[in-house]
Structure 1
Amino acid sequence: MPDCESVDALAAQVRRDGFAFAEGAAVDAILGAAGGLDDWDVFAESWDHLDPDQYLAATGRYRRRRHAVFDLGAALDSSAAPHRLPDQPHFQTLAHNPLQGGLARWFTPMTDTAVGTRAFQTLMGFGRKVFARLDSAAATGSWRVEAHQFRIEAKPDHAGEPTPEGMHRDGVDYVLVVLVERRNIECGTTSIHAPDGTELGSFTLTRLRDVALVDDQRVLHGVTAVTPRDPSKLAHRDVLVLTYCRGT
């Protein structure tokens, strides 16, 4: 399927439903045409070097992350690397994150190696292509993109919480979630809800590069806790989350 048709189909689903889920095999066809994944192993290996999320207090040791912020121009076919902005805190209001809102949270920055991979830049461009098709302002303006590397660790005596704040919005325009790895994990189902609480759909990211695309202005999302399939072995869920805000 041609790149533009695949991207258009995903954008149409987000426009209709407020979200879309796509399996990794379909996504890989788009990403291969959009820039490639030849250094995916280098990108994925960077999840082994994340630092604990200190803002989760007693449970912080079960979530690891890194963070970076970028400015993307409007040109959809630009081959230029995204412009990385100076390291800065991640901030959400209490309305969007009742658990940790109102805090300027500083996380360990993403490494230059991870950011410089073709795989990462292709994923960022993929999100821009989909979301830019949703309205004229998104198509012609620049984007502020926050990148979050998450590793949720599950222990025999403690389930991992991908979204400890529960059903929520991120306080942005659009969200792209990409599965990087599931190791020895059960559950982790994403559900999408309307503002009145009505469930609109659910799915589980289980395959490499399965993705979720969300219109954060229209719907809420949350992910169920993850547990080890085999309690005697290490268990974790690795995802890349990219949030997109329209610029001017």
Structure 2
Amino acid sequence: MITIEDIDQALANSGYIHLAAPALQQIVGWTGEQWQTFAASWERLGEDRYMADGGRYRRRRHAAFEVRGGDLVRKPDQPHFQSRDYNPLNGDVQRWFDAVETDIAESAIVASIFRSLTPLFATLDRRAPTAPWHSEMHQFRIETSPEELGRPTPEGLHRDGVDWVLVILVARQNVEEGVTEIGGADGRRLGRFTLLDPGDAVLLDDRRIRHGVTPIRVTANAAAAYRDALVVTWKASGAP
């Protein structure tokens, strides 16, 4: 049984932790019915029209929040922005994506993610429990076919330009590969693992850790093939 103290220690020592679905569910908490409703929303993502590599393999939705302790307030819809320092492929562009649906943004799963993890990050960063964070939520579907690889991170091993990152696998259908790679800020390779089951996750300190996912390939040509993931980020805002 993993505890929040175990996660705290792993993040402090290594900068990341790979969590199997039962461990994350134990910490965050959700029911099977809640998860089914949440995961079904990945069937309704819009096309990512900003892929500088010309690919048409990524679908997504986006939302931004102000978070204090376990409380969150959704911000007005806004573009997602990363500088080219963090995203050499798609950086320096104000990217507007379809908004996360209201019932998903207000779901018990999203609320429990922020309620469970924000205090942990505040403790690790020695911030006040109610200090404000700017958080963003990204729903991704990476599709693949016999004609086109699906690239979860076409920018390669990277940082997101935030403080903390949570990645949760939502679904894998008819694909192989998609290996999560972890590296240090100095370029050292620190780990490789595959998120296989819905709810498998990785938590990481974006200031210390670079991360990426290898391309996915279709395994059966006649069936739809994709990898669904949720990415949530936290960046300190305001006074500590």
TM exceeding 0.5:
yes
Shift of 1:196: 2.1
In the alignment, structure 2 segments of 5+ residues that lack a partner are none
Give the alignment partner of residue 35 of structure 2, picking from 36, 40, 58.
Answer: 40
CA contact (8 A) 1:185 1:227 kept: yes
Equivalent-residue separation in structure 1 for 2:66 and 2:28 (angstroms): 21
Give the alignment partner of residue 13 of structure 1, picking from 10, 14, 17.
Answer: 10
Aligned to 1:178: 168
Equivalent-residue separation in structure 2 for 1:246 and 1:54 (angstroms): 29
Matched, 1:145 2:135: yes
Q: How many residues get paired?
A: 238
CA RMSD of aligned residues (A): 1.7
Equivalent-residue separation in structure 2 for 1:86 and 1:37 (angstroms): 30
Normalised to the residue count of structure 1, the TM-score between the two structures is 0.90
Identity between Structure 1 and Structure 2 (%): 42
- Other structure's SS at 1:29 match: helix
Shift of 1:57: 4.9
Shift of 1:246: 1.2
Shift of 1:191: 0.9
CA 28–95 in structure 1, closer or farther in 2 if over 3 Å, else same: same
Matched, 1:27 2:24: yes
Equivalent-residue separation in structure 1 for 2:187 and 2:132 (angstroms): 32
Q: Quick check: which one's helix share is greater? A: 1
1:17-47, CA deviations, whole angstroms, 9 ceiling, x for partnerless residues?
1111000011112222xx6564221111110
Give the alignment partner of residue 185 of structure 2, picking from 195, 203, 208.
Answer: 195
In the alignment, structure 1 segments of 5+ residues that lack a partner are none
CA contact (8 A) 2:79 2:94 kept: yes
CA contact (8 A) 1:97 1:170 kept: yes
Structure 2 counterpart of 1:50, which letter?
L
Deviating runs (4+, > 6 A) in structure 1?
Answer: none
Normalised to the residue count of structure 2, the TM-score between the two structures is 0.93
CA 181–30 in structure 1, closer or farther in 2 if over 3 Å, else same: same
Aligned to 1:132: 122
